[in-house]
């Protein structure tokens, strides 16, 4: 079982409930499937608790155009398709959650006004490029980050293009990171109180944030998704007192297990049923000191379909 949680507080000193924004990396497995669904459950719980009032989702298909020319003649068309595919696959169930949401595509974002003294994204991007060419600290941060990314990506691209020039690929990576960092300007104009992502903010973007937007009201909060350990029997119940002869219904052992589970008021996510080894389980609970080992060997657990 997975469980998502924020690493830092999402409480604002100025507002009772806040607007949360997340930027999507289309190839990040933590923003797909069951992981993405757990994130939506987390923000929905925060909405129910009146900690959040809205979720903004920024897609980044248009940003991928820096790499796509290596594979395609018309990358712009593909970026639209990439966004649409992600939205169709990952957001088809978004409306089942209570929290209001807004979707902003990357090309739309870049048309927004820019925070700070720069009026437009294009103007700010030129400044970021100038920083890259003149400020050694920022240059090193970008190059180090890009080199790591290139090592992970280049083999995939080489499979389809044996004439790939690594230097050309690296320059595309630099262009990608500089645009991503400069996009912080318009991001601050989207009305969010917090920006969240399942990793720490990358070093180049962190540098730009601190240098140009340290006075902006939006904060960064990381979230994580971990596998949650499940205790089959609540700690509040002693295994020696779980089943007492005078309380047990006169039925089969498999029914004893179901009866015991219903006796405790568990949350919906803790409701599990045993489908094998019921008789052995009951025997171990009542008379064996090796219950945990036997349980591991003989018992299979499944999630109820109704949950």
Tens-digit pLDDT string for the chain (307 aa) = 889 999 988 988 788 899 999 999 988 999 999 999 999 999 999 999 999 999 999 999 999 888 775 554 556 668 888 899 999 999 888 888 999 999 999 999 999 999 888 899 999 999 999 999 999 999 999 999 988 777 766 666 666 555 666 677 788 889 999 999 999 999 999 999 999 999 899 999 999 999 999 989 899 999 999 887 655 444 444 444 444 444 444 444 445 555 555 555 544 444 434 333 444 555 455 554 443 443 344 334 334 343 3
User: Side by side, which strands form the sheet with 219-227?
Assistant: 2-6, 219-227, 194-197, 18-23, 52-59, 101-105
Structural domain spans, the chain: 2-135+175-227, 231-307
**Range list of H helices, 91-202:** 106-109, 121-134, 136-158, 166-182, 184-187
Q: What single DSSP character describes residue 67?
A: T
Residue 115 CB coordination number (10 Å): 19
- Considering the domain 2-135+175-227 in this protein, what is its CATH number? 3.40.50.11710
Q: What is the pTM assigned to this prediction? A: 0.71
């Amino acid at each position: 079982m997975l469980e998502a949680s924020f690493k830092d507080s999402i409480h604002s000193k100025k507002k009772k409930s806040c607007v949360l924004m997340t930027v999507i990396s289309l190839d990040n497995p933590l923003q797909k499937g069951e992981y993405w669904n757990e994130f939506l459950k987390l923000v929905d719980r925060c909405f129910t608790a009146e900690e959040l009032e809205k979720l903004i989702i920024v897609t980044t298909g248009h940003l991928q155009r820096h790499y796509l020319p290596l594979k395609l003649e018309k990358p712009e068309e593909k970026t639209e398709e990439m966004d649409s595919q992600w939205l169709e696959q990952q957001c088809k169930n978004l409306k089942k959650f209570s929290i209001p949401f807004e979707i902003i595509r990357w090309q739309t974002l870049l048309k927004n006004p820019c925070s700070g003294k720069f009026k437009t994204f294009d103007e700010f991007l030129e400044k970021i490029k100038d920083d890259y060419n003149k400020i050694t600290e920022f240059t090193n941060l970008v190059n180090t980050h890009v080199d790591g990314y290139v090592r992970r990506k280049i083999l995939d691209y080489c499979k389809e293009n044996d004439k790939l020039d690594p230097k050309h690929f690296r320059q595309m990576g630099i262009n990608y990171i500089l645009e991503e960092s400069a996009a912080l300007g318009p991001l601050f104009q989207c009305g969010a109180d917090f920006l969240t992502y399942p990793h720490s903010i990358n070093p180049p973007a962190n540098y730009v944030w601190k240098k140009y937007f340290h006075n902006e009201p939006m904060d960064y909060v990381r979230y994580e998704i971990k596998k949650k350990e499940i205790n089959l029997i609540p700690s509040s119940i002693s295994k020696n007192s779980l089943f007492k002869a005078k309380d047990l219904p006169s039925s089969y052992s498999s029914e004893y297990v179901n009866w015991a589970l219903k006796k405790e008021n568990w949350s919906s996510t803790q409701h599990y049923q045993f489908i094998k080894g019921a008789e052995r389980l009951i025997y171990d609970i009542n008379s064996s000191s090796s219950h945990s080992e036997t349980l591991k060997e003989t018992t299979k657990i499944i999630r109820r379909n109704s949950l």
